[in-house]
Homo-oligomer: A and B are copies of this chain.
């Protein structure tokens, strides 16, 4: 059960809440949330979660707008409910009068969005790609294999993949370049190859279904530069791929070890100074502490971060949503009816030969305390 046995003091009836008391109450709630969600989060994460609850009663919209780890979010909701600050009824989440009073005394305003409708906030217009590329990609995507939980898969919308390719093309990372795609349920290799820009696109993936699918696309579409082969990210990068590419793209699992596995392989696979890498990183499964840890790792590895575009990657809800780890934490167990899982697109560029090792990873590298989807 979500409810813990610790019962917090309720807001006393008739006692007027003041800003100092509200801050004290929030601090107390967060202290108790820490026992349920042993991950780093700040009062600012709580502010974001409250701002989301002020602007929507739909649970998945609240997840999306909160931009905090689900592990924290669900534990926080649970404590709010215990304190009668949040009501869960008729499939909706709504702050009670006391909850609104708390938010008001914390000076929290409803979450407000300013994303451009035309490009869904990405800043990139994929329609600048040749129309044939867009149409062929959409057609090909219809036959894609479904996402599998065992490989922590979950693919992005077609618009996302096309925008990612347009973005990489605009950054000069595809034309005339050799590209490595590490794990490709997003089919970014296919969209990249369809542009005709790269001289080589190699997909490495553990999933035989994807390898067969991409090879078949390459054959049918006559994309000679597109190859796919099996590779388990836990194995050291084979010698023949080391220092052979210009750009790598991936969408790593977000445990820190899993993330490092993907990025280390990518950095070892590229030629060195001036080579670029792309990956996604979420708030739903990564605290800002982990973001900072990842950023330190990237800089120490010899890379600079050139771009971070929030919500660039919009994911199609995977079939296994009811068996994902976060499902049991949710106050309302309904499937999402719209995109709710987003990630920021990062681009990095190497400034010196990468200082990472080609180590072997053992065991389950997919999950950590912050994981929600595996």
Residues of the B chain whose Cβ atoms lie less than 8 Å from the Cβ of A355: none
CB-based contact B304/A291 at 8 Å: yes
Checking B126, B177, B273 against A42 with a beta-carbon cut-off of 8 angstroms, the contacting residue is B273
Residue A145 at the chain B interface, CB threshold 8 Å: no
Give Cα A40–Cα B288 distance, bound, in whole angstroms: 31
**A41–B121 Cα gap in the complex (Å)?**
31
How far is A197 from B111 in the complex, measured between Cα atoms in Å? 12
Minimum CB–CB distance for A31 against chain B, Å: 15
- Which parts of A98-144 form the interface with B (CB within 8 Å)? 107-109, 111-119, 121-126, 128-129
Residues of B within 8 A of A125 (CB): 114-117
Please, which residues of chain B bring their CB within 8 A of the CB of A296?
299
- CB of A281 to closest CB in B, whole Å: 10
Answer yes or no: A319 CB below 8 A from chain B CBs: no
CA distance A371 to B118 in the complex (A): 36
In the complex, what's the smallest C-beta–C-beta distance from A39 to chain B, in angstroms?
13
The number of chain A residues touching the other chain, given as a range, is: 35 or more
CB of A170 within 8 A of chain B? yes
Interface locus among A224-232, A305-313, A323-331:
A305-313
Q: How many copies does the complex hold?
A: 2
The distance in angstroms between the C-alpha atoms of A125 and B118, with both chains bound, is: 9
Find out whether the CB atom of B292 lies under 8 angstroms from the CB atom of A111: no
Bound together, the chains give a CA A47 to CA B175 distance in angstroms of 11
Q: How far is the CA of A47 from the CA of B344 in the complex (A)?
A: 27
Do residues A118 and B115 form an inter-chain contact, with CB atoms below 8 A?
Answer: no
B-side contacts of A344, CB under 8 Å: 307
Are A114 and B107 closer than 8 Å at their CB atoms? no
In contact, A292 and B299 (Cβ under 8 angstroms): yes
Residues in A lying within 8 Å of B, measured CB to CB: 40, 42-45, 47-48, 51, 107-109, 111-119, 121-126, 128-129, 163, 166-167, 169-170, 172, 175-177, 197, 199, 273-275, 288-289, 291-292, 295-296, 299, 303-310, 344, 349, 351
Q: List 11 A-B contacts (CB under 8 A).
A: A40-B351, A107-B177, A114-B166, A115-B170, A119-B123, A123-B123, A288-B306, A288-B349, A289-B351, A299-B299, A306-B310
